[in-house]
Structure 1
Amino acid sequence: MLNDDLQGKTVIITGANSGIGFEAAKVLAEKGAHVIMAARNMEKGQTAINAILIENDNAKVELMQLDLADLNSVRAFANAFTSRFNQLDLMINNAGVMIPPYGKTKDGFELQFGSNHLGHFALTGLLLPLLKDSTGSRVVTLSSIAHRGALIDFNNLDGSKGYKAMKFYGQSKLANLLFAKELDNRFKLHGIKTISIACHPGISNTNLFKMGKSETPGYMKRIMNIFFQPAQMGVLPTLYAATEESLQGGEYVGPDGRGNRKGNPAIETPAPGVYNETTMKKLWEVSEDLTGVIYHLN
């Protein structure tokens, strides 16, 4: 059953100023959680906080700056958080960038792989001590149906040997899924009670569908309103993964409708052969090497 009482729980949501992250922040704050809304753009983040407080003036929500495309920002966020909080009950790795023109992060990673996967990998690792010390804690990482048919091209992670935006988006979302599963495997191997769960929103009408740095064009929004489910529905798998008490860790949650594009949350089976142990182990090692963040699980 879903846990409706989150009083005393501390939650981090990346990319919480819009879309799925914003909807999750709103609901979890309604349930009594203290929600840290991590956002790159502080102005947009404050607008999101104000919108939540208008509906619920008792909401415990606050804004902290985080740019997942900059490992210095990731470290600064982790240091600021750990200096103020002694627990982390729920971490939702939600933020993402989708099909931008070719670009790189501050550290020279391809933008989608660097932001969607490596930034979250580093952040989760840096906050691991707090997660381990918080009873009943969990990590929820958002993947996508775009993981289907995707591959991790270890010989071209930075896109220097060719770049196709959708291919690299699929790679980043596959990395999210493999990270979530491997993290849970390692938690269980080392007797750590924290659990890791992956989820995806189906195809939701959010600002993830941006053309470069601009907002989604009006004509695209009209098309999306017809074919995609609203963010209020797209957030349900995230909320299920975050609060369903029967989950044991390692699950993948998505909409139950046709093609898993729309619907109510349900435990889903990823595409066949996705959980390749060799790929998962190599991705983990490469991620530690690229970010310099080592997971101390002992």
Structure 2
Amino acid sequence: MSETAKAPRGVGVLGGGRMGAGIAHAFLLAGSHVTVVERDAASADAALARVSDSIRRSVERDSSLQEADIIGRLTTGSDIAAFADLDLVIEAVPEDRELKEHALARAEAAMPAHATLASNTSSISIDDLATHRLRPELFLGLHFFNPVPASALVEIVHGTATDSAVTDRAGGWVSALGKTPIVVSDSPGFASSRLGVMLGLEAIRMLDEGVATAADIDAAMTLGYRHPVGPLRTTDIVGLDVRLGIAEELESTLGERFAPPELLRRMVAEGKLGRKSGEGFYTWNEER
């Protein structure tokens, strides 16, 4: 891993939802100029508000931060051409293979030839996504965790074609964010999603079977195994729809042991997506 922990000068984020806004927040606090591109002007305005609110909360916690300076390094819009002069572009669209393929192709066509392209996928093979890349040696996975500002980990996924120097450079960028990088070889679900989703799926099955309440299942892991957050609350935070998509991807590659429980499918169909919808395994009354 590189010893130089310096954030890239210019960073692009394609997708300004919860994850994209969190990634933008992290790089802004590290001193980067960040450009967030969304699908249309209304979505770009929503992304601006999302990132600005997040920065404002950070400033309230740390008086040494200068809100105007940080927000002054943020640009949002809907024109992919804004990626023309950047060092790093991170795709942060929802966990859908076709959607990510389209987003990565658009980003790569707009960004400079020297820039690194990364996907924030939590389960889709980097080697599969690299198949259609113009410069697969400059492509890798940067898997951030939700909520990004509070998370201490970023999973760097090194694909078969990824240049080792690019992986090292990404490690320095992650360190500059004040987060810890781990490097994993491309494999379905990588390290974190594969383990975390398996635990979450079993917790959902236990809840459906009446083994215990959601709170008690979570307490078994937080108090018994010292997990900071239980698997069902974590699923609410991540989003039940996101967990379902990851489980379906892993089932298709790793087999039946990752088959999504019927309870998970039913809750997603009912719109009970967790914190972002206000209801999941818990009721969430906080601002979403």
Question: TM tier, shorter chain?
Answer: 0.3 to 0.5
Larger radius of gyration: 2
TM-score (norm 2): 0.45
Higher helix share: 2
Which structure's relative contact order is higher, taking Cα pairs within 8 Å and 6+ residues apart?
1
